[in-house]
Amino acid sequence: MKEKVFNVSGMKCKHCVMTVTEAVSEVEGVQSCDVSLEKGTVTVKFDDTVDESEISSAIKEEGFGVA
Ligand SMILES: [Cu+2]
C-alpha cells in the first residue's frame, strides 16, 4: 500500500470535492481518497499496482490541475 498527497488546484466547492473523490475512487486499486478543500490536497491510498500518473490523470480529466 502506498500513500501520496497530490496538490490539486481549481477545487472551489463541495461539488468539486465530490467530483475529484469519485474520479480518483474509480481508478482500480485505489483504496481511499481524502480531499481537503481548504488545503487543496488530495490524499490517496493505493495498491502497488497503481501508477501515480493514473491518479493525476483522473484528476486532470475532470478539469483540475495537479502540481
Ligand atoms: Cu466546485
What cell does 25 get? Answer: 475512487
The domain of 28 spans 2-66
Residue 15 CA, ligand 1 centroid: distance in Å? 4
| 67 within 8 A of 9, measured Cβ to Cβ | yes
- The confidence score (pLDDT) of residue 14 equals 98
Residue 13 CA, ligand 1 centroid: distance in Å? 4
Residue 16 CA, ligand 1 centroid: distance in Å? 4
Residue 13: CB atoms within 10 A of its CB come to 9
Residues in CB range of 66: below 8 A, 6 or more apart: 6, 7, 8, 9, 56, 59, 60
Q: How many domains does the chain have?
A: 1
- For 13-58, write each residue's pLDDT tens digit: 999 999 999 999 999 999 999 999 999 999 999 999 999 999 999 9
Tell me the CATH number at 46.
3.30.70.100
Which helix (H) or strand (E) segment holds residue 24: the answer is: helix 14-25
Q: What residues sit around ligand 1, an ion, with C-beta below 5 angstroms?
A: 12-13, 15-16
